[in-house]
Structure 1
Amino acid sequence: MSEGPTPAADLVGPVVTEGHDSTSSGTPAPPPLLGGYPLSPPADAPPPLSLSPDPRSTSFDAVFAAAPLAMAVVARDGQVVTANQALGELLGTGTDGLPGKVAADLVDLSSDARTWHAYREVLRGRQARLRCTRRIKHPDGHSLWVQVTVTPLPEAEKAVLLSVTDVSARRELQSRLRHLQMHDPVTRLPNRTLFFERLSAALEAESYEESGTGRIGLCYLDLDGFKAVNDTLGHRVGDRLLAAVADRLTQCADEAGRARTTTPLVARLGGDEFALLVEDSTGTDQLAELAESVLKALQAPFDLAGQRLSVSASIGVVERHATGTTATGLMQAADTTLYWAKADGKSRWTLFDPERNAHRMTRQALSSGLRPAIERGEFALEYQPLVGMEDGRVRGVEALVRWHHPQFGTLTPNRFIGLAEEDGSIVQLGRWVLKTACRQARRWQLERPDEPPIFVSVNVAVRQVWDSDLVTDVAGTLAETGLAPHLLQLELTESAVMGSAGRPLQALQALSDMGVRIAIDDFGTGYSNLAYLSRLPVSVLKLDGSFVRGFQYEGTDAHPNPADEVVVEAMIRLAHRLGLTVTAECVETSAQASRLRRIGCDTGQGWLYSRPVPPDRISELVEAEACGHPDRRDAVARATTSRRAQETGSP
């Protein structure tokens, strides 16, 4: 009878009740069925069915017997009354032996519960028709697929017509077409469609079956540098290489499956991307072992019709519980991990890391929310004083942007400036920072008309110079706010101005001619090509804080780097010879400030003087200076402490 799983019956037509039991119609009910066999007929059962109730049916009998369609008339008790020659030939039993047989057993209608129930409903007159596809065994040993249709005959006949059609050729064609549809023509491996079909089925099975581990694993790999093979040797060689890689991956999967109940599924997902799916995995060690074997298998060169090629692969490895996992989620994790493997140097495998992925997701969330955040006004500026080393007075302030994110809280620039430069939103954000800082500097000036004004320093990214008309933006902002050009300082990193030529150099020169001061931020951390200091319109050098941290600390157990002080002193002298002023960043102790003052540093910036604070705290500090407060640093400290108290609610 049936071999292997039997497909669900293809039921055609609605369930229609065409007969009733004896209590409703007076007609004796059909005998009950047990399994595929009728019970003994009741005592008042009607006489056996005759197909020739009158002479006119003789022609019908002749047509029935000679019809090419395999047919049988089946009584309501499920037994074959008569069958034609075509059915006997199809089943390989001959016609004479069919009458009296149980029809359900001839075409395997009782092995599937749904089909068996529908068949009984047709026999009882409660359903209009049954159509299904069954797999039966021929006496000579081969199997064939047949389409079975059961249709009630007119009520007077008290029977149903069973017709059987051999659809083996059609099924075989469908199977071949499906194979072509589901397999890659180059490597003969399952393609993306079949892979996702298997993956979805595996996730569902692992989630509900209790006999296995309930886990699933995936190795997602991409060939390193495969595009160069196609570009230099042609797609024909590239296809041969893909087929050879597929063979080695299949060997790795077969080897991995020998010691386990299941063999990993190898599929080509497109291009030079392959996947190895491990169902019922036992943990990350199993996936790591498989990934290692794949990398090792691909190390040996490939001989392709005279071409000797070497190739490596990057592999993303994911292993997790199937419950709660979706095919899309698993593939996203695998794709992310594959990207990590390539970013970490290629020719390696990398295991999925939830924490690293969370960081990536956060980064993506911040990147996508930058532009809307600017429009919603989620950014604010804080200011850190730039203090004169000789007299301790606030000469200026650096504007530092903060993002008050509704989900992640207050973010400092190192969390989002790089993202803004990547997607171009730094131009829009930079304009806002420039206008806000200049407006605030002008407000301080108007509040203290009789005191020397303080300048504001604003950071400018390289992309702002290239992607916007920085000169026009600055000129428009100064005109709009009324701030004098010499009260604005623009900070660019050393790497941004290295080798400047063309548009950047022209922009810097135009800004300098306008009266705006240009400062080189984090000086000393790049290539430090001193030649550009004589060519660029730079007026200020800001020494990177790493040099200041290495100063000798008097009265402490710290281990400084004596060379840092020598380097800083040399840079200060060079800057002064070139007519530049020097600002030291990250000044945190009085000892550092004293040494910087002795070697001629002009201004200092750091926590010794103040953390970045809101603009009103700067006003308090400047006001304390105007009143001649004996210790200006204490005034700054009080301003910073007051701010912390407001933020935490402490007194």
Structure 2
Amino acid sequence: MQAAINRLPASGRHRRTENMAGKPHVVIADDASLLDALPIAAAVIQRDGDGSLTVVAHNSRFFDTVRQSTCTAADWNQADCLKSGPIGELLHSYFDGTDTAGELDFRDGEGVSSKYFRVKLAPLPKKKGEGPRCLLSVVDRTAEVQSERALRAEMLRDSLTGLPNRLAFSEAIESAGEKVGRDLEHAVLVVDMLRFSRINESMGGLAGDELLITFARRLILALRAGDVLARTGGNEFGVLVSLRRGIADALKAAERIQQVMATPFKISDLEIRVECAIGLALMHAGQDPEELFRNAQFAVKQAKLAGAPQVYEPKQATEARRRFSIETELRRALDKDQLKLFYQPLINLKSGEVAGFEALARWDHEDRGEISPTEFIPVAEESGLILHLGRWAMDKAAQTLASWDQEAGEALPLYVGVNLSAIQVARDDVAGVVRSALKSSGLSGNRLTLELTESSIVQDPARATRVFDALKALDTTVAMDDFGTGYSSLAYLQRLPIDVLKIDRSFVSGMMVDPDSVAIVRAVLSLAEALGMSTTAEGIETVELATTLATLGCASGQGYYFARPLEAQAAYEYWKSRRR
């Protein structure tokens, strides 16, 4: 290379050089003056009639740049380079008119000594009797490229642990995805450090950072050669593992991680046991890296519930996405008043007359069809929409009962039961909601029965007591729904102002075939009588059940034997049909 550089002519007013065919060429002073005035390395290239290329002039910066080069691609005076190398191809295509951009980036050398250049071509006026010419400029981008690489490396590194970060991990997944189906399978593990927030809050940020660093070091001990570890979140780590035996290898990796975490961590003067939840997701060909990572994160949530590493199941994720979809649609339905209240009759088992109705929300979606309450009520509770739904149901039920009174011309001997969620008891002003419904409808408090589950009591007994007392102050009836299926406590029954126990359908439906169910129902009825409470049996499907419950002393019942939930007007007609 240096020999070629030595053949380059020195600057001067008149120069003699040779083209690629060995023909002499004289450079006039204008070319030299023009090039020397340029702040970048530049040369004038001419294509002769035989198609050969000639360096007709260059400035000192060009000479210095070429002299620093070590690769033949920058050996501007070698005919082979200009004919077949990348610079030669660029020049020929430029002169031929097939490459009008005239720009090329290339690397010179290998490893840490590599240098990076950008070559640009610009047209020059053609001189009389000579071939077409262009100005070739060379910019040394080595420092720029090195800075970009250093910045990128910093962007892909977690500053605390020194591990790759989330972005780098996504790139590693993408790179591994190109090998899927050829020689290797891969899986992504997401490791979530449990209780980290408590440790961080109680011991301080420095201790938390120390724990994260130590946790990362232990994770490294659990990995095999070729596995990739990254810190993907505050207390979350991602692991990309290669698989030879499918999911068995991924589960083995999770087992190794749990083993290295079994020993307590020593932070300051304390020994802390740190557990982790691990979610796994298998990689499929063409899968988006972010989707794969989210799948593993979803499996982490399942692992927290199960207490063991979990493999991502598409069916579970589909159900989760459906819940989010239902949440969106439910919010719109509430805003547009698209839900309806149906009313299931509560029958006095002694007289056979309708004692009241239980209000039940129903949702007939315009596209999905009927969506079951067992599906949208849990979504409403999880999202907080239950507060909106509960207020709507309370007001709607009271208004419906008031409209029946108006149609009958008198206050009917009926009450309507409205269910209250544990979320409402914990987060809403339930007494205020009931008071507002009574005021707007003109009903007295004894026309409303509020049905609460045992879970609403257990979560916060003190608050539940205040809510129950406030409801009784409005003269409403309070019923405990699904009695016997939750965290039943005789202390709650004795302490709280509960008027009605509703016997769960699981006990009622089994009465005719299961002696234990009969015994439980008898016990609940005896307990209610001793405490001065009334009883309602749910799920009465046959005349035998209705007769048996009446004989045992149950006050009222509901179920398909009497009627399914009815729309408001149909419920009113049903009441009239059973009136004696």
- When normalised by structure 2's length, the TM-score is 0.79
- Structure 1 residues 222-231 or 273-282, which shifts more? 273-282
Q: 1:70 to 1:306 in 2, by over 3 A?
A: farther
Q: 1:321 aligns with which of 284, 297, 302?
A: 284
The 5 A counterparts of 1:27-38 are none
What residue in structure 2 maps to residue 191 of structure 1?
Answer: 165
Q: Is 1:582 the counterpart of 2:535 in the alignment?
A: yes
Measured in 1, the distance between the counterparts of 2:426 and 2:266 equals 49
- Asked if 2 retains the 8 angstrom alpha-carbon contact of 1:129 and 1:152, the reply is no
User: What is the CA deviation profile of residues 295-314 of structure 1, one whole-angstrom value per residue up to 9, with x for unaligned ones?
Assistant: 34444556789986654432
Q: 1:595 to 1:423 in 2, by over 3 A?
A: same
Q: 1:102, CA displacement in angstroms?
A: 1.9
Q: 1:181 aligns with which of 152, 155, 159?
A: 155
Measured in 2, the distance between the counterparts of 1:500 and 1:270 equals 33
- Asked if 2 retains the 8 angstrom alpha-carbon contact of 1:455 and 1:488, the reply is yes
Q: Name the aligned partner's letter for residue 545 of structure 1.
A: R
- Asked if 2 retains the 8 angstrom alpha-carbon contact of 1:214 and 1:322, the reply is no
Q: Name the aligned partner's letter for residue 78 of structure 2.
A: K
User: What is the CA deviation profile of residues 513-551 of structure 1, one whole-angstrom value per residue up to 9, with x for unaligned ones?
Assistant: 544222222223344333444544332222223333443
Measured in 1, the distance between the counterparts of 2:267 and 2:492 equals 54
Measured in 2, the distance between the counterparts of 1:384 and 1:129 equals 78
Q: 2:329 aligns with which of 348, 365, 369?
A: 369
Q: 2:187 aligns with which of 217, 231, 240?
A: 217
Q: Is 1:523 the counterpart of 2:456 in the alignment?
A: no
Measured in 2, the distance between the counterparts of 1:543 and 1:336 equals 37
Q: 1:454, CA displacement in angstroms?
A: 2.7
The 5 A counterparts of 1:483-494 are 483-494=443-454
SS in 1 for 2:92: helix
Q: 1:154 to 1:339 in 2, by over 3 A?
A: same
Larger radius of gyration: 1
The 5 A counterparts of 1:542-621 are 542-551=502-511, 553=512, 558=513, 560-562=514-516, 564-621=517-574
Q: What is the alpha-carbon root mean square deviation over aligned residues?
A: 4.3
Measured in 1, the distance between the counterparts of 2:192 and 2:432 equals 47
Q: 1:357, CA displacement in angstroms?
A: 1.0
- Asked if 2 retains the 8 angstrom alpha-carbon contact of 1:74 and 1:103, the reply is no
SS in 2 for 1:368: helix
Q: Name the aligned partner's letter for residue 330 of structure 1.
A: L
Q: Is 1:338 the counterpart of 2:324 in the alignment?
A: no
The 5 A counterparts of 1:389-400 are 389-400=349-360
Q: 1:422, CA displacement in angstroms?
A: 3.7
Q: 1:286, CA displacement in angstroms?
A: 4.5
SS in 1 for 2:293: helix
User: What is the CA deviation profile of residues 467-521 of structure 1, one whole-angstrom value per residue up to 9, with x for unaligned ones?
Assistant: 4444444344334434444332222223434698777545544543544222222
Structure 2: gaps spanning 5 or more residues: 2-18
SS in 1 for 2:23: coil
Q: Is 1:118 the counterpart of 2:90 in the alignment?
A: yes
Q: 1:406 to 1:499 in 2, by over 3 A?
A: closer
Q: 1:246 to 1:88 in 2, by over 3 A?
A: same
Q: 1:104 aligns with which of 70, 75, 81?
A: 81
Measured in 1, the distance between the counterparts of 2:266 and 2:567 equals 68
SS in 2 for 1:321: coil
Q: 1:445 to 1:341 in 2, by over 3 A?
A: same
Measured in 1, the distance between the counterparts of 2:410 and 2:156 equals 83
Measured in 1, the distance between the counterparts of 2:388 and 2:139 equals 72
SS in 1 for 2:25: coil
User: What is the CA deviation profile of residues 19-70 of structure 1, one whole-angstrom value per residue up to 9, with x for unaligned ones?
Assistant: xxxxxxxxxxxxxxxxxx98xx7xxxxx9242256xx68x959x98xx9987
Structure 1: gaps spanning 5 or more residues: 2-36, 42-46, 256-262, 629-651
SS in 2 for 1:392: coil
The 5 A counterparts of 1:498-509 are 505=465, 507-509=467-469
- Structure 1 residues 238-247 or 301-310, which shifts more? 301-310
What residue in structure 1 maps to residue 228 of structure 2?
Answer: 265
Q: 2:420 aligns with which of 449, 457, 460?
A: 460
- When normalised by structure 1's length, the TM-score is 0.71
Q: Name the aligned partner's letter for residue 375 of structure 2.
A: R
Q: 1:226 aligns with which of 196, 202, 205?
A: 196
Q: 1:89 to 1:525 in 2, by over 3 A?
A: closer
Measured in 1, the distance between the counterparts of 2:319 and 2:370 equals 17
Measured in 2, the distance between the counterparts of 1:307 and 1:509 equals 47
Measured in 2, the distance between the counterparts of 1:468 and 1:304 equals 42
The 5 A counterparts of 1:223-302 are 223-250=193-220, 252-255=222-225, 263-277=226-240, 283-300=246-263
The 5 A counterparts of 1:109-148 are 110=84, 112=86, 117-123=89-95, 130-137=102-109, 143-148=114-119
Q: 2:26 aligns with which of 51, 67, 75?
A: 51
Measured in 1, the distance between the counterparts of 2:195 and 2:460 equals 34
What residue in structure 2 maps to residue 641 of structure 1?
Answer: none
- Asked if 2 retains the 8 angstrom alpha-carbon contact of 1:492 and 1:520, the reply is yes
What residue in structure 2 maps to residue 404 of structure 1?
Answer: 364
SS in 2 for 1:212: coil
User: What is the CA deviation profile of residues 139-193 of structure 1, one whole-angstrom value per residue up to 9, with x for unaligned ones?
Assistant: x996443444555665336455656565545543443333223222333322223
